[in-house]
Amino acid sequence: MEQRKYGLFTAISMIVGIVIGSGIFFKSYNILALTGGNVSQGVLALCLAAISIVFGCLAISELASRTDSAGGVITYSENFWSKKLAIVFGWFHMWIYYPTLIAIIAWIAGIYINNLFGWKNTLELQVLISLVVILFLYAMNMISAKLGGGFQRTSVVLKMIPLVLLAIAGLIWGDPVTTWTAHATKETSGTWLKAIPAVLFSFDGWIVATTICHEIKESKKNLYLALVFSPLIVLVLYIMYFVGMSAYMGPDQIIAMGASEHLAAAATKLVGSQIGAKLIMILVIISVLGTDNGLILSNIRLPYSLAIRKMMPSSDKYTTVDKVHGVPMRSGYFSLFVALFWVVMHYITQKFIWKDGLHDISEIAMVVNYILIIFLYLAVIKLAIKGEVKGVVRGWIIPILAIVGALIIVNSGFQNELFGIFLVICLVVVGIAYLFAVKHPEIDKVDLKSFESTEFGKDV
């Protein structure tokens, strides 16, 4: 049996490190703009998303603690619902969910890199830099799996510095009480529900953490605790940063300056020099790159993970792991191609549709992801009916509250005027995946033991 090596503290650190990234730095502007500068409504949106995610974490942990297999939602779908749902999840994540997130976070990195060097902040230059970022991170991870992992561990530590520093500065030298009360009754540009997809972007990534369940000591207890406390820790840090930044710079000024400029201005104001401000911006950029790197680490594995299960066409082409680099190269190239496609789609939507920059393609992908996750919450209820999950709270109340939270998030997605169009795109991918599953019943006979014995196979 594989030795379990992570304790509770390490598990919490990993989850917090996965979740905290570019979102809160970039989306604070979106939250304020969508609530008309109403800080209290922004905090409410943060709290609602966090509570929804806590119950979601608790529900998913019931599944995670019942299997020693890695693989996250694909494994849980396969073991506790059906192979068909596993294929649907896998295809959706491979074609839409992961690549849209990678494209958007690389774009955010492009914006901050533009600001760091004082270049002209045009959409074209932002997207060009995002392409370079994606190509660089993919090259690093495909040259050496260890190199990508080392960068990931380093970025987890560095990303906390600007977040905590700017949060404390705002709370100490700003005026949070006045900021809160002055904008509490201000009319919003729409309902505060519009801010939830932006908030969701800041919390996204928690589901990835369940893939380490098989490596946690006393996972039935420690994973539960880690999945409860981690989003609460993230929530406290986010509220500190959001309120602190609003108090330090003022909601109106943040809205006027935009998503990237207000962060650079706050850094300059804090340290009083351009050099110090640039150092803070470099740490923020590393944080953003670390988030994208983590997604790319997972995305490179995804076609391989589906291929060894025969869950995609021409599966045999994607199951070979390069002996020199320790990476399935064709799987990596495939995921890179899809990510670059979504960079182009992001450019088109930002150039011609969402010109104000308040929305992006990843928001709808995250909302649709929660529609699929509801099936996993229902799987917990199925286990409760069978008597495998004991207690009304764990077997019924928690998954039902998780479903309610997911439905609130889905409802917030309808606030986006393009939700219907992107939902159709998602449903097309889901439909094709389901038809593939129906036409390939041999998938049920696939044995993963030969792959799980390899070093790379342990992560599928």
Q: Is residue 37 domain-resident?
A: yes
Given pLDDT bands bounded at 50, 70 and 90, which one contains residue 96? very high
Residue of higher predicted confidence among 374 and 175:
374
Per-chain mean pLDDT for the chain: 82
346-403 confidence digits (pLDDT tens):
999 999 887 766 678 888 888 889 899 999 999 999 999 999 999 999 999 999 999 9
Q: Evaluate whether 29 touches 262 at the Cβ level (below 8 Å).
A: yes
Q: Is residue 323 domain-resident?
A: no
Q: The whole model's pTM is what?
A: 0.84
Give the whole-angstrom CA distance, residue 226 versus residue 16. Answer: 9
Helix (H) or strand (E) segment spanning residue 347: helix 329-352
279-318 confidence digits (pLDDT tens):
888 888 888 888 888 888 888 888 998 998 889 999 889 9
Structure tokens of 58? 């608790």
Give the whole-angstrom CA distance, residue 270 versus residue 368. Answer: 39
In this predicted structure, what is the pLDDT of residue 447?
59
Q: In this structure, what CATH number is given to the domain that contains residue 415?
A: 1.20.1740.10
Q: Which 3 state secondary structure label does DSSP give 328?
A: coil
Tell me the β-bridge partners of 6.
216
Q: Evaluate whether 445 touches 107 at the Cβ level (below 8 Å).
A: no
Residue of higher predicted confidence among 337 and 47:
337
Residue 110: is its pLDDT beyond 80? yes
Q: Is residue 459 domain-resident?
A: no
Check residue 357 and give left, alpha or beta (phi > 0: left; psi -120 to 50: alpha).
left
Give the whole-angstrom CA distance, residue 107 versus residue 125. Answer: 10
Least confident of 49-53, 123-127, 137-141, 340-344: 49-53
Domain span including residue 181? 8-91+158-287+355-446
Q: Is residue 346 domain-resident?
A: no
How many structural domains comprise the chain?
A: 1
When pLDDT is averaged across residues 38-46 and rounded to a whole number, the result is 87
Q: Of the spans 50-54, 61-65, 194-198, 286-290, which averages the highest pLDDT?
A: 286-290
Give the whole-angstrom CA distance, residue 146 versus residue 101. Answer: 23
Residue of higher predicted confidence among 455 and 168:
168
Q: Is residue 110 domain-resident?
A: no
Q: Is residue 301 domain-resident?
A: no
Residue 97: is its pLDDT beyond 50? yes
In this predicted structure, what is the pLDDT of residue 53?
82
Q: Is residue 387 domain-resident?
A: yes
